[in-house]
């Protein structure tokens, strides 16, 4: 990877987001907790969710990832409260398509993921970038299943 590629990939905005991840405290009594790990780089994200009326009411995340994974978790943390399972899954799928297939930036309120467009060319980084959304989608699904069984 050339130095100019690294500068493009690790922009100041990505580094700012990575340094300021919202909801970085874990929840005491979550409805569900999911930990996801990227085997390629070892990045891990653990998320806790509490739902109210089908929406994320409280959210916590522990992010041990590269700057790109941290920036992704930061973007998610800024808009996650009030989101539904369908919105999280749509954002995950749109982000995956943006990275892998050259698709558009995810729909609002997830348009902040545009900062990660330069990572399209770095497939080895995609798994880390997707971790936070994947873990959140799984946690919301588990929380809904538990609520249905109660």
- Mean pLDDT calculated for residue range 132-136: 98
Rounded to two decimals, what is the model's pTM? 0.92
pLDDT in tens, 7-37: 566 678 999 999 999 999 999 999 999 999 9
Domains defined for the chain, CATH in brackets: 3-149 (3.90.1010.10)
Task: Report the C-alpha gap between 52 and 85 in whole angstroms.
Answer: 12
> HSE on the CB side for 116, CA within 13 Å?
36
**Three-state DSSP state, 60:** strand
Is the model more confident about 36 or about 146? 36
Q: Rounded distance, CA 127 to CA 132, Å? A: 10
Token pair of 38 as six digits: 């990227």
Per-residue model confidence (pLDDT) at position 150 = 65
């Amino acid at each position: 990877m050339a130095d100019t590629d690294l500068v493009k990939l690790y922009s100041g905005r990505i580094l700012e987001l990575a340094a300021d991840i919202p909801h970085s405290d874990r929840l005491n009594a979550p409805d569900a907790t999911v930990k996801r790990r990227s085997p390629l780089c070892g990045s891990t994200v653990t998320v806790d969710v509490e739902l109210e009326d089908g929406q994320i009411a409280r959210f916590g995340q522990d992010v041990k990832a590269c700057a790109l994974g941290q920036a992704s978790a930061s973007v998610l943390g800024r808009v996650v409260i009030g989101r539904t399972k369908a919105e999280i899954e749509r954002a995950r799928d749109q982000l995956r398509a943006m990275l892998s297939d050259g698709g558009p930036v995810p729909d609002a309120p997830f348009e902040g993921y545009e900062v990660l467009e330069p990572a399209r060319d770095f497939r080895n980084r995609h798994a880390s970038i997707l971790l936070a959304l994947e873990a959140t989608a799984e946690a919301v699904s588990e929380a809904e299943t538990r609520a249905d069984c109660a």
